[in-house]
Structure 1
């Protein structure tokens, strides 16, 4: 990020790692890969100028562990924005070591496994409640806070990319927020009677099981669905395409990604039947898919299609 946003500040371009955990050889291997990551990020064609306006100084990571000594008062950093990387786990020297100097047990990189939907903003908004809650009740309190936020967001669809011609969200949001001129696609074990009654032929449903099983089924279900979408796009005016699943984060996002790649141009226009993107080698490629996925990530950061879902979409688009 520093190399892209602050090309003139070369002192911020070097890799920073904690020497007590990352040895010289591992550090060198990390540093050697940065240039490739930079070039890959550039190809996504994101609006870096908007990010640069908000981020006035380079980033620099600072690690805090149970063995760290903290200053008595918060320090000021005039030349960079600190990114505090905090772990509550202790380093176990010589145990299960993938690093030269030790292994950080339970580094907690998989937030979905332990956070129960608790986000950083939600934590800080409710910090007094959370810190005063007994440990045996904390999970129940977190579930309640997350449910309250999800309920407030339930009736919202998120437009994706320039033009917002594709939107994603939950089935509940689609039932509330979808317009009669939209094409609405739901992805779940059962179709929505509300949307069927409201939209008639403009409602499409993809029956998939929950979890990995459904994500694997997606590869073989996409061809018929995409053919149905193509038939609907001859309508005038050009409709918005809404894709929804139970939580608005996984299988529906995969379907939306396929639609973005096939029917939405880089400037956000909808391709009519006969204009859709060609199959490889003259049309779609992995870079196109990455770029359209970045549109989704920017618009809806909590959209988190599983690896299995993305593999199914890639197999359909490139296979």
Structure 2
């Protein structure tokens, strides 16, 4: 007889159970959207994308990470500032953020703590950035709001004690903070919510708050699993960690083929998913992710995915392309770096310790030197890597640090001469994040950029 724990894990990781559980949870999201049709609905990456129909979702990334809300690890992370959402809030008078969580909780930490911290920090920071507008902030609500069902009074108080340091970090950053008409305030909904609150914008347009409706899509199940009469086992928070159960299926594939997937038996479902993935790989259509011009430097530097470059590559002479590919390379000056034309250069890198060393000592110097010649020739430089989030971002930061002033002005034909510090490098990263919100470089990659500027060459390895 099979071990009950093993059987439980099999049921939990069954792609059939997961997809049917997600489909059940989307009915609640439909109810929320129908209740607040005028509020844009955004999935919280990555889990929320499984529950949010792309046809109704707003094309603006929201990334509130649960780890920034874990107990004693609370943070307002400048690398995940989400400040691009503020203009959407001003336009729409609020928004809906969709996420989910696994058994044991009603709300994910991303919605119960990370997002409330974000609201409170922004409310304080805006007032700090505009100190002369006393009348505007006379009735401003600075309070931290957290859901009592998920956050104890003690934890709430501990988070409050950290707000000032996060506010200082944001106000001292290079990020632009718009003057909002009203402060932000989170509101929480779960399938257990008995009635939805009425949300109407204030008549005078300056009082009240911008509601951010935080929706946890999944039903709270004490053991995480519950059998349904429809023939599947309900798994709370099914959209989480899809690498463990999805067999390569993505949220986009799920929504494009939802009816077929849900109508297929558990025995045939893996074959259908394999066919869908194969079709997706053969498809000539490319995702809509055009290169992002860095606004602080008037678009002289852009960041992109490799696919984004292929789909939008301009044909004029005013742009060049620095293509960073993760294919294996040979540690040889000529073989590992292949110029494709006068205005296009491909640099190869790989993961791991050896790859990091090569990125520091070979890729970064060549990329920066190539950018110099192209910028001098009056061209913009588009830096691209497979995901457009990590390596390309770090290379762009290095170029921005070397050839642009702290105010974003070109220094060419000269280079940056003021003392380079972690703070000046971080400000360049903030320029990139502000123009490309999905930018999310790893700590290891950013450390290589710091080493490139701050560590003597003979110590680099």
TM-score (norm 2): 0.51
Contact 1:189 1:207 in 2 (8 A): yes
1:167-178 correspondence to structure 2 within 5 Å: 167-175=302-310, 176-177=313-314
Match in the other structure for 1:294: 430
Indicate the SS of the match to 2:410: coil
Indicate the SS of the match to 1:28: helix
Change (3 A) 1:298 1:118: farther
**Gaps (5+ residues) in structure 2?**
1-121, 129-136, 203-207, 224-235, 330-337, 456-461
Find the partner of 1:220 among 352, 361, 383. Answer: 361
What is the Cα deviation at residue 180 of structure 1?
3.3
What is the Cα deviation at residue 114 of structure 1?
9.1
Alpha-carbon displacement from aligned partner over 1:244-283 (angstroms, at most 9, x marks no partner) = 112322211211111112212244332224x3224xxx52
Contact 1:165 1:270 in 2 (8 A): no
What is the Cα deviation at residue 9 of structure 1?
4.8
Alpha-carbon displacement from aligned partner over 1:142-198 (angstroms, at most 9, x marks no partner) = 9789999972526x322113311101113344353264343421111459xxx955x
In 2, Cα distance between equivalents of 1:218 and 1:106: 38
Change (3 A) 1:283 1:48: same
Change (3 A) 1:292 1:92: farther
Change (3 A) 1:247 1:286: same
1:60-75 correspondence to structure 2 within 5 Å: 60-71=185-196, 74-75=198-199
Match in the other structure for 2:324: 187
Structure 1 position 312 matched with structure 2 position 448: yes
Contact 1:261 1:292 in 2 (8 A): yes
In 2, Cα distance between equivalents of 1:9 and 1:149: 55
In 2, Cα distance between equivalents of 1:285 and 1:151: 39
In 1, Cα distance between equivalents of 2:212 and 2:357: 37
Match in the other structure for 2:146: 17
Tell me how many residue pairs correspond in the alignment: 287
Contact 2:368 2:399 in 1 (8 A): no
**Gaps (5+ residues) in structure 1?**
94-104
Contact 2:375 2:381 in 1 (8 A): no
TM-score (norm 1): 0.70
Larger radius of gyration: 2
What is the Cα deviation at residue 17 of structure 1?
1.1
Contact 1:215 1:251 in 2 (8 A): no
In 2, Cα distance between equivalents of 1:147 and 1:291: 40
Match in the other structure for 1:102: none
Match in the other structure for 1:46: 175
1:237-316 correspondence to structure 2 within 5 Å: 238-273=378-413, 275-278=414-417, 282-316=418-452
Match in the other structure for 1:59: 184
What is the Cα deviation at residue 241 of structure 1?
1.5
Change (3 A) 1:227 1:294: closer
Change (3 A) 1:69 1:2: same
In 2, Cα distance between equivalents of 1:83 and 1:139: 35
What root-mean-square deviation, in Å, do the aligned CA atoms of Structure 1 and Structure 2 show?
A: 4.3
In 1, Cα distance between equivalents of 2:210 and 2:366: 46
